[in-house]
Homo-oligomer: A and B are copies of this chain.
Amino acid sequence: MNFLLFCFSLLLFLFNLIYSQEIDQRLYDLSKKIVRVSLIDNKGYKWLEELCKIGPRLSGSENSYKAIYWARDKMKEAGFDSVWLQPVMVPNWKRGKIEKATIIESKKYKGRNLNITAFGGSIGTGENGISGEVIPVRDFNELKLKGDLVKGKIVFFDRPLDTGEVEPFAGYGGAVDQRSRGAIEAAKYGAIGVIVRSITTRHDNVPHTGVMYYVDSLPKIPSAAIGYQDADFLKEALDEEPDLKINFVLSCKTYEDTLSYNVIGEIRGSEFPDEIIVVGGHFDSWDKGCGAHDDGAGSVQSMEVLDLFKRLNFQPKRTIRCVLFIDEEQRQRGAIEYSRYILEKNQKHIAAIESDRGGFTPRGFYVDTDSLTLNYLQSFLPYLNLAKIDWIRKGGSGVDISKIKNARALFGYVPDSQRYMDFHHSDNDIFEAVHPRELQLGSAAMAILTLLISELGL
């Protein structure tokens, strides 16, 4: 055993000495009840089914408003103390009806269609579309090396998600630059359009969308995802015929920003009403599937935390606030507006919990906090174990709550994510992709963490 390990072990022991506390039987029993009621009632799951029937919830879309009013009404029905809509201006990009790609010049493949879908924020192509040769590259480095060869062509970013990464989010992180910045980088070399191999762990032919960006200093060129199988096909076809040409048409368009809302509901604390604990997810989704995992799951779980307290007739000491943030997928305007609002109102947030990694079986919580608080939080594990939470570790919380300043601890709920990228941002992300027990254990895990922070403080 080396010296550092020795010191660490000794420190851990001393911390345990100071911070370990006996189990609070009342809270332990309540935690057990939370798990049981969550699994038996399946209320979050039933809510998710209703929500998915409304359809996907792209910011600014007609469905998004239906969903917002639906959530508000559900929170009111559940008897939360206050429920309100928080106005916020959101981006207003619309896909349009036409998304089509075709091989137009080729000895062998002329006329063959390719499965594509525009990335969120992309300009349209005009009704005749973009036509040109296709130049495949693995990354921005290869793009740079090809330099002048890119001019006038369509860049095909072909680097798949690395399935060898044990964390699908790490694989995603290693591939997503092609989607988010591909059009910017390709434009530097005079490309006329971009298509990107879908970032997915399921090798079907469903294209996966997601946000992309432009900069004002460069020409804006259209950018779209291509299905994984068609990306395979295109790669092989280009090996055979490097000068084949494709045409693709996108009728998407960005409109003026439009008014939308965060949906907020809260139960006022009985002892410390001014100390707020936020539980939240994002309520917008992409206009694919129905955004069941991303982030319908996190939204209904957040609603259910409060609803579980209501069902168990439990009155928390601190104020528990559910926030369904709008526009996470594009500009995080909902999160920005919420953080502005609480600063303006000088509202004290002691903690926030975000669920935006899918509705799968609980594994742990990431937490953004100091080391002392982290150590104290380990004493919550015997309760959280009841809902299959095995650990609390330092790590990123979530895109939306990370904008909340001055909270003692920001938590990211971490479920098992092995299946997540199969569904993410695609037509695969439907209600049927969510398993009731997995979703409900997430609700329970979040509710127990909320309960402990509310009753024991931080």
Interface residues of A (CB under 8 A from B): 1-2, 5-6, 9-10, 12-13, 16-17, 20-22, 35-37, 39-40, 163-166, 168, 201, 361, 363-364, 386-388, 390-391, 416, 418-419, 422, 435, 437-438, 441
- Which chain B residue lies CB-closest to A418? B437
Residues of chain B contacted by A361 (CB below 8 angstroms): 361, 416, 418
Contact B390 A39 (CB under 8 A): no
- Which chain B residue lies CB-closest to A203? B436
Residues of chain B contacted by A17 (CB below 8 angstroms): 1, 6, 9
- Which chain B residue lies CB-closest to A162? B40
Contact A39 B391 (CB under 8 A): no
Residues of chain B contacted by A37 (CB below 8 angstroms): 164
A164 to B34, CA, bound (A): 10
- Which chain B residue lies CB-closest to A6? B17
Residues of chain B contacted by A386 (CB below 8 angstroms): 166
Residues of chain B contacted by A165 (CB below 8 angstroms): 39
Contact B390 A363 (CB under 8 A): yes
With contacts A13-B9, A387-B166 taken as known, whether A21 is within 8 angstroms of B1 at the C-beta atoms is yes
With contacts A1-B20, A166-B39 taken as known, whether A437 is within 8 angstroms of B201 at the C-beta atoms is yes
Residues of chain B contacted by A419 (CB below 8 angstroms): 435, 437-438
Contact A163 B437 (CB under 8 A): yes
Residues of chain B contacted by A5 (CB below 8 angstroms): 20, 22
Residues of chain B contacted by A168 (CB below 8 angstroms): 437
- Which chain B residue lies CB-closest to A166? B35
- Which among A10, A163, A164, A166 has the greatest number of chain B C-beta atoms within 10 A? A166
Residues of chain B contacted by A13 (CB below 8 angstroms): 9-10, 12-13
Residues of chain B contacted by A164 (CB below 8 angstroms): 35-37, 39-40
A441 to B40, CA, bound (A): 30
Residues of chain B contacted by A364 (CB below 8 angstroms): 390
- Which among A9, A10, A165 has the greatest number of chain B C-beta atoms within 10 A? A9
User: Which listed residue (B2, B36, B166) contacts A441, Cβ 8 A?
Assistant: B166
- Which chain B residue lies CB-closest to A38? B164
A438 to B12, CA, bound (A): 33
A174 to B21, CA, bound (A): 33
